[in-house]
């Protein structure tokens, strides 16, 4: 009993230490970006960043618009409509493998398939298509894990009352899984906003305001990468990289807060 008590205490202590260390690392990282970038936030940098911000938001929005329905309904199909057969195991293995593929491979695939084979131009649309594939495993896995927490009695009870599978999915499963879906969306936003290799090949590097999803452009992360590689890409040199990194950090925080707000309003309405 004494050994078991010491074991539980040790696990709790390690958990607390890991949590504290994680919080410290997050605050150190955010603090470093704020301290280094705040001095370079000026009118010139904001004017330079407007096309980058618009392009980034367009890529995020369209990629999520494509990936969310596919991810949610794929997870529902895997959890509700199938048994744990070989085909399903192969699908889950493929999803896990897709999640571990380096982003540069996605960029090469997009360049070869979407541009050279299909004939799409370098554009926001092409970047959104490849990013929807990149974040699809995140959304599927988070939705699946949320579905697993639903008690079987809740689903069977809905079906026993005469509700169809579609109604059960719409009224029971999706509302119950909304937190898991939101977590997947937040992870996907961070993945899309911070991606460079998979996007740069298919969107270009032009810092111009896009007028449609068929236009080329440059995201904040792509511009940041280019400045670090060659400081002459920006008027303030490497200083602009810190400024853009701060803008990027603020956009991620604001988008995550927006997603949380939508989640809160959805729950309040429900």
> pLDDT band at residue 1, thresholds of 50, 70 and 90?
very low
Most confidently modeled range among 24-28, 171-175, 182-186: 24-28
Same structural domain for residues 62 and 174?
yes
Average pLDDT over residues 135-154: 85
Same structural domain for residues 36 and 48?
no
Same structural domain for residues 103 and 126?
yes
- Going by C-alpha positions, the residue among 75, 46, 10 that lies closest to residue 240 is 46
Tell me what the pLDDT averaged over the chain comes to: 85
Q: How many domains does the chain have?
A: 2
Q: What is the pLDDT of residues 173-183, one digit of tens each?
A: 888 888 888 88
- Does 60 score more than 60 pLDDT? yes
CATH of the domain at 248: 1.10.3720.10
Same structural domain for residues 223 and 150?
yes
Q: What is the pLDDT of residues 105-131, one digit of tens each?
A: 888 888 889 888 888 888 999 999 999
Residue 172 corresponds to which tokens in the numbers above? 């029971």
Same structural domain for residues 94 and 114?
yes
Q: How many Å is the Cα radius of gyration of the chain?
A: 22
Q: What is the pLDDT of residue 3?
A: 60
Same structural domain for residues 126 and 15?
no
Residue 202 · residue 127 · CB < 8 Å: yes
Average pLDDT over residues 237-262: 86
Which carries the bigger pLDDT value, residue 7 or residue 252? 252
CA distance 244 to 49: 7
3-state secondary structure labels for all residues of 171-234 = HHHHHHCHHHHHHHHHHHHHHHHHCCHHHHHHHCCCCCCCCCCCCCCCCHHHHHHHHHHCHHHC
Same structural domain for residues 17 and 57?
no
Q: What is the pLDDT of residues 83-94, one digit of tens each?
A: 777 888 888 888
First to last CA, the chain: 47
Q: Would you give the distance in Å from CA 252 to the centre of its chain?
A: 10
Residue 8 domain boundaries = 1-40
Q: What is the pLDDT of residue 58?
A: 94
Q: What is the pLDDT of residue 235?
A: 65
**Out of 67-76, 137-146, 217-226, 230-239, which region has the weakest mean confidence (pLDDT)?**
230-239
Q: What is the pLDDT of residue 47?
A: 84
Average pLDDT over residues 244-251: 90
- Does 101 score more than 90 pLDDT? no
Average pLDDT over residues 71-83: 84
Average pLDDT over residues 40-48: 83
Same structural domain for residues 31 and 48?
no
Q: What is the pLDDT of residue 162?
A: 73
pLDDT above 70: percentage of residues in the chain: 95
Which carries the bigger pLDDT value, residue 165 or residue 14? 14
> pLDDT band at residue 2, thresholds of 50, 70 and 90?
very low
């Amino acid at each position: 009993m004494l050994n078991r008590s010491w074991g539980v205490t040790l696990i709790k202590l390690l958990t607390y230490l890991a949590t504290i260390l994680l919080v410290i690392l997050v605050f150190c990282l955010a603090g470093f970006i704020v301290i280094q970038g705040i001095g370079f936030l000026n009118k010139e940098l904001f004017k330079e960043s407007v096309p980058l911000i618009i392009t980034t938001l367009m890529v995020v929005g369209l990629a999520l618009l494509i990936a969310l329905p596919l991810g949610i309904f794929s997870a529902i199909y895997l959890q509700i409509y199938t048994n744990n057969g070989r085909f399903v195991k192969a699908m889950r293995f493929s999803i896990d493998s897709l999640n571990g593929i380096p982003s540069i491979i996605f960029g090469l695939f997009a360049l070869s398939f979407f541009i050279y084979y299909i004939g799409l131009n370098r554009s926001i649309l092409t970047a959104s298509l490849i990013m929807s594939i990149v974040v699809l495993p995140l959304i599927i896995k988070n939705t699946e894990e949320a579905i697993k927490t639903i008690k079987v009695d809740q689903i069977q009870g809905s079906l026993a009352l005469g509700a169809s599978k579609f109604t059960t999915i719409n009224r029971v499963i999706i509302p119950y899984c909304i937190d898991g879906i939101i977590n997947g969306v937040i992870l996907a936003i961070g993945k899309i906003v911070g991606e460079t290799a998979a996007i740069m090949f298919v969107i270009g590097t032009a810092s111009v305001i896009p007028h449609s999803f068929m236009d080329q452009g440059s995201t904040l992360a792509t511009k940041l990468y280019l400045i670090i590689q060659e400081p002459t890409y920006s008027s303030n040199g490497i200083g602009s990289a810190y400024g853009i990194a701060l803008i990027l950090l603020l956009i991620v925080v604001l988008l995550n807060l927006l997603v949380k707000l939508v989640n809160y309003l959805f729950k309040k309405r429900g």
